[in-house]
Amino acid sequence: MSKTILRLRFREYWRIGEQESWLADMAENGLHLNKMGSIFAHFDKAEPKQMRYRLEVAINEEITPEELEGHKERGWDYVTTYNYLHIFSSPVERHAPELHTDLFEQSQTFEKLSKKLVMYIYFEVAALIIMIGILYVKWFLRETPLLSFINGEVLFFEEISFIYIVYSIHNSFKAFIAIRTLREDLIGGRQIDHHAPWKGYYFINTSFTLLHKAVVGLLFIFPFALIEIGYTKTFPEESINLPIVRLADVEQAPDLIRFESDIKGNYDWDNNYSYSWSPFAPVQYDTEEHGFIPGERWDDGYYPRIFTYMYKLKESTMADDLVYELITRYRDEAHDDELVEINHPQFDLLIVYEKENRKRVFASLGKAVMYVSYSGDADVKILIENIADKMHLFQKYQKIE
């Protein structure tokens, strides 16, 4: 049983002369083509032999028995079919005549392939337009592109699909131009060079293929890596070594009791903190806490609660933009004139919204950005003081489990 050897195949399948020369050199080194896969060419390891290979345009997906018999009578053995090409081989000593002696007739097969490529390009461009529309909605209509990058939202299915479609269109245009050039050469009486130099093209092709696969692979696993890196834990009732604004610090009520969630799981759904990471914000936390004071109840039936989103950015130049995008995403019913910018010595930027018992604070300091949503009766000044203390700690903070 012969041993199968894999080699990265030419991605530029339209380089017909170079591929024929490559396959002949492989056979001379004892590697005889068995089939072409989507990424690899499969070779059988055998005795070195001088072989000739010819690539024929596959107008139909399958070659007919009559075509096989006709080529065999002329000394050419069918090997395999891939993309738009049938591959035939013949030992040198067989002295098989060329598959095509009429170059104009051969050029017509490339004309049919050109028309197929034009149709595919139309479909790919239409898909690209649709994908651009999806990405526009995702990135810009929501008006939070920076926040999407920081949260890793723009490196998943739509972005990978966009890169793949652009790559496909690029290849299809290159193929179309190359096939048209081959056709014009044949009409002009210039045969395909069956011994064309292939090593330079193969090296470039292999390097680009590996780079492309690596980039797409990294983009694909990135969201899953973020999930694996991140975690969510229940808040312990005692203080923890995190620069987080706690509900008890704001309420300043000794008889405050934690509101325990009825939903059971790996963590308390009403009192937890989550950690995540991204290249743009290596440290991120979001938290929530709920509590109540025995004997007290708000008229609307809700209890005191606090939600916090914290980002330590890679670059401080992104901080103020992130603050405004957080406002865009979380402002809800707040009107522009209700969002008050306060000149505060402990912040680079501080914007506050307060209405009845709902307070929202958006702040930046250096590389640190924080958004806190608090519902309760505590004065907003107490909330701001706590945020200022925690943000100064967050400036120097490194992730602690």
Rounded to whole angstroms, the Cα distance separating 165 from 68 reads 35
Query: CB-hemisphere CA count at 13 Å for 276?
Result: 19
Express each pLDDT in 218-265 by its tens digit: 777 777 777 778 889 988 877 777 888 999 889 887 778 888 767 667
Express each pLDDT in 8-47 by its tens digit: 888 888 889 999 999 999 999 999 999 998 889 999 999 9
Element (H, E) at 363: strand 358-365
Which residues lie below 8 Å from residue 134, measured CB to CB, with a gap of 6+?
158
Rounded to whole angstroms, the Cα distance separating 283 from 288 reads 17
Rounded to whole angstroms, the Cα distance separating 106 from 129 reads 36
Q: Are 88 and 74 in contact (CB under 8 A)?
A: no
364-389 mean pLDDT = 93
Angle (CA) 252 253 259, round 5°: 110
Q: Residue 65: pLDDT above 90? A: no
| Burial of 98 (C-beta count, 10 Å sphere; 0-12/13-18/19+) | middle
For CA atoms 61, 65, 67, 71, give the dihedral sign: positive
Rounded to whole angstroms, the Cα distance separating 69 from 38 reads 27
Express each pLDDT in 112-149 by its tens digit: 888 888 998 999 999 999 988 887 777 777 678 888 87
Question: What's the pTM?
Answer: 0.65
- First vs last Cα of the chain: how many Å apart? 55
Q: What's the mean per-residue pLDDT of the chain?
A: 86
Classify strands 339-341 and 31-36 as parallel, antiparallel or unpaired: unpaired
Q: Are 54 and 194 in contact (CB under 8 A)?
A: yes
Q: Residue 400: pLDDT above 60? A: no
Domain boundaries of the chain, sorted by first residue: 4-94, 103-226, 230-395
What is 230-395's CATH topology? Protein Transport Mog1p; Chain A (3.40.1000)
